[in-house]
Amino acid sequence: MDNTLDNTGVLETEQSVQDFVDVNAEYYDEQFKKIGDKRGFEFTFNIAAFLLGSIWFGMRNLWAYFLPFVAIETMAVVQIARGVWGDLGAPFLQRLGGIEQTLATRREQLLDAQENTPDKVAAFEKTIASLERAIEGIKLDAVAAQNTATQLVLLGIAVLIGVKIVQAILANTALQRRYTKWRSDRTLSSGFGVPQISLATLLAIMTYVTCALKFGFPSQVAALQSFPADPSIQTTAADAIKAWMTSASLSSEWFFDGLTFGIRSVLDALETIFVETPWPVMGGFILLLTGLSAGWRASIFTAAALAYLGYLGFWDKSMKTMALLGTAACISIALGIPLGIACARKPKLYAVVRPILDFMQTMPAFVYLIPVIAFFGTGKPAAIIATMIFGGSPVVRLTVLGLKGVPSSVREAAMAYGASKRYLLWKVDIPLAAPSIMAGINQTILLSLAMVVIASLIGAKGLGEDVLEALQYASEGQGILAGLAILFCAMILDRIIQGKRR
């Protein structure tokens, strides 16, 4: 009975290996057993992998090995091509044209000097001798470079053989690891089909040939030196975008004016609170908030930071920066948390919103300043819009992450006791997701603060203006002091916001 079960298991294993490899199943079954039975690394040598190289790994769907191996093989092929067909001295000889032309000009000047200005003859003779030595040196360098052709060929062959030996040694082990994963997940690609053979062969040969032509014959195939682009396409696209932005800004002027008015209203209110409030009152409130949130030890650091801002003359600009930041952060949070809640409940909506968030985070800040200026002009409202674009993404993402991380068992228990959707959201989901939501709020505020220097380019004022002036006039001291002021503002906000969560 036991022998029957053992034979059945062996047959099943052999069949699964056959299904996985398609070709030469007996060989791979034996190799897989050797590798699986040994705890450490088992030395094996795959002749097919040695002969085919990176193509074998692509044919076997081992693309993680294919890419680095084809890169190393290409380097070896390029060296062989350069050594056999390449003109290694050409880069040196290309420099001769300009030097020989200069030499001819100096010789003409020497003849003229011998007839008219004899006192300059020695200088011209010295210059001509120097140019002649330079030409001889370049010719010698070209000959020396050409003499390295044999060395390049031998180096390329050695690298190619070496990488093929490594490929042959790693092949069976890599395939056995993929076989182990395939047995638990049959959705992984397996077998030895025509598509992967064709793709691996095409990619490898195309890489070898194009790289060999580019580096072995740099002057023969001009199309490989740079992409054959048509400059008129870029000009046409740029003109179309400019025309669209002009048309959109004119047709939607009422909308952007209203949005600017709303942002400026919030900003003016916050600037009145932060800037016009006497500094002892504002400093006292900041210390109180820090002590209640992060503890009284943190308030000692906050007091030192506030003293730095005050004594070095950054108080008013810091408060203006805080007002600017507060406006951008408040609007971002007010829009981001509801949007995050909606995205967590509706995956299709999040599938639409997520690419927009990726765009907001990856697009360089200087790029989206251009449309912001086109629609909003320069000044603080435009700076707030740019800051919102840069810093508004984390609060949405982390709100979605926190709500999706609420245990389903807790939600099911609440619904079993008759909780409504509103009760479930406010009393179960949001409290449990609060740490993640608070982290999103914190990241939004800190990223917004990181925009103050860039926003100063379009008239945001505040601490960023001092840093910008320091960059313009190479004032290192002023720039470092203003940068430290921005750092202290960020640390104070971080302590106030993150204190309770910690």
> Is 76 domain-assigned?
yes
> Is 193 domain-assigned?
yes
Question: Are 347 and 441 in a shared domain?
Answer: yes
| pLDDT at residue 13 tops 70 | no
- What pLDDT does 69 receive? 93
- What pLDDT does 90 receive? 66
pLDDT per residue as tens digits for the range 16-66: 888 888 888 888 888 888 888 777 778 889 999 999 999 999 988 888 899
Q: Please give the C-alpha separations between residue 466 and each of 78, 385, 448, in angstroms, as whole numbers.
A: 52, 21, 17
Question: Are 196 and 298 in a shared domain?
Answer: no
| pTM for the whole structure | 0.64
Among 7-16, 108-117, 358-367, the minimum mean pLDDT is found in 7-16
Question: Are 491 and 376 in a shared domain?
Answer: yes
> Is 50 domain-assigned?
yes
| pLDDT at residue 10 tops 60 | no
- What pLDDT does 400 receive? 92
Look over the chain and give the mean of its residue pLDDT values, rounded to a whole number: 82
- Residue tagged 């930071």 (tokens): 305
411: number of Cβ within 10 Å: 15
- What pLDDT does 1 receive? 45
Question: Are 48 and 24 in a shared domain?
Answer: yes
Question: Are 143 and 157 in a shared domain?
Answer: no
> Which residues, 6+ apart, have CB-to-CB distance to 64 below 8 Å?
none
SS3 content of the chain, % helix, strand, coil (to 5): 85, 0, 15
Give percent of the chain with pLDDT exceeding 70.
93
Q: Please give the C-alpha separations between residue 33 and each of 13, 24, 39, 336, in angstroms, as whole numbers.
A: 10, 15, 12, 55
- What is the domain count for the chain? 3
Question: Are 185 and 279 in a shared domain?
Answer: no
Question: Are 184 and 290 in a shared domain?
Answer: no
Q: Which residue has the higher pLDDT, 430 or 501?
A: 430
> Is 253 domain-assigned?
no
Among 21-30, 186-195, 284-293, the minimum mean pLDDT is found in 186-195
Question: Are 453 and 402 in a shared domain?
Answer: yes
- What pLDDT does 221 receive? 67
Among 6-10, 79-83, 129-133, the minimum mean pLDDT is found in 6-10
Question: Are 44 and 96 in a shared domain?
Answer: no
Mean pLDDT of 95-120: 78
- What pLDDT does 91 receive? 66
Residue ending a domain, choose from 98, 114, 147: 147
Question: Are 95 and 60 in a shared domain?
Answer: no
Mean pLDDT of 204-219: 80
pLDDT per residue as tens digits for the range 324-382: 887 888 888 888 999 999 999 898 999 999 988 888 878 877 777 788 887 877 778 88
If we measure between CA atoms, which residue out of 194, 177, 180, 157 comes closest to residue 64?
Answer: 177
> Which residues, 6+ apart, have CB-to-CB distance to 9 below 8 Å?
none
- What pLDDT does 5 receive? 39
pLDDT band at 490 (very low <50, low <70, confident <90, very high): confident
Residues spanned by the domain of 28: 14-88+150-224
| Three-state DSSP state, 116 | helix
Question: Are 310 and 374 in a shared domain?
Answer: yes
Mean pLDDT of 267-293: 84
Q: Please give the C-alpha separations between residue 64 and each of 35, 57, 108, 168, 270, in angstroms, as whole numbers.
A: 20, 9, 63, 16, 54
pLDDT band at 72 (very low <50, low <70, confident <90, very high): very high
Question: Are 136 and 26 in a shared domain?
Answer: no
- What pLDDT does 499 receive? 63
| pLDDT at residue 465 tops 60 | yes
Q: How many H helices and E strands in the chain? A: 25, 0
User: Which CATH number is 370's domain given?
Assistant: 1.10.3720.10
Give percent of the chain with pLDDT exceeding 90.
10
Mean pLDDT of 278-283: 86
